[in-house]
Chains A and B, each alone.
Chain A
């Protein structure tokens, strides 16, 4: 069974840092591009970042570029999102999602991890 399990969320002060993780199982992790998508409380979905299967190609939304860093460790079947200089507007549930079935199409999603940026 394909599983993506996110972790690492929590409460952080503005300007602080947090590192999210996404542990994958049930499939060949190194064969898939993985993305982070976030959802602010009561709001819609927003694409955040993506990393190709080998880690060669990395992309960020303008809203997080220069502050967030996506990475992966295929030996550990894990995806990461290092978030620095956090702002109140970064408060959201962060989902990791597996790309499949076409460009930027997400067949499997993790359960989400909540990041709250507040003083």
Chain B
């Protein structure tokens, strides 16, 4: 199985400051159709996961533009340009290129 490694696992941030989460895969996530199936999810406390980003950098409808995704091959990043209180939660990357789909361990974002 493809191993997804996130860092850091805990991210204390100051309101209004930027935050960055890294996700590294054990194999390239480029699929045979040319797409890279790397997603980012946010899980607020007590809630179901919510997708923020699909195919590396496509933001879902309703997701604030302070969230952005980037990367290629095996290295990917989720950035929050200015953290707000509502961004507290756990963030997961998910690869869908290789079967079975696998998630990163999660990164807990909290306010300092």
Spell out A's residues near B (CB within 8 Å).
Answer: 37, 44-47, 59, 61-62, 95, 101-107, 109-112
A44 near B100 with CB under 8 A, answer: no
Q: Give the chain B neighbours of A102 by CB distance below 8 A.
A: 35, 37, 39, 54-55, 96
Select one of B37, B48, B50 contacting A112, CB under 8 A.
B48
Chain A's closest residue to B92 (CB) is: A45
The minimal Cβ–Cβ distance linking A80 to chain B, given in whole angstroms, is: 19
**Can you list 9 A-B contacts with CB-CB less than 8 angstroms, sorted by A residue number?**
A44-B92, A44-B105, A45-B41, A47-B100, A47-B102, A47-B103, A103-B101, A104-B99, A106-B49
Q: Is B69 an interface position by the 8 A CB rule?
A: no
A105 near B94 with CB under 8 A, answer: yes
B49 near A109 with CB under 8 A, answer: yes
- Asked, given contacts A95-B49, A112-B48, whether A105 binds B54 with beta carbons under 8 Å apart, the answer is yes
A107 near B60 with CB under 8 A, answer: yes
Q: Give the chain B neighbours of A107 by CB distance below 8 A.
A: 51, 54, 60
Select one of A37, A59, A104, A111 contacting B37, CB under 8 A.
A104
Docked CA distance A44–B92 (Å): 8
- Asked, given contacts A44-B105, A45-B49, A45-B92, whether A103 binds B97 with beta carbons under 8 Å apart, the answer is yes
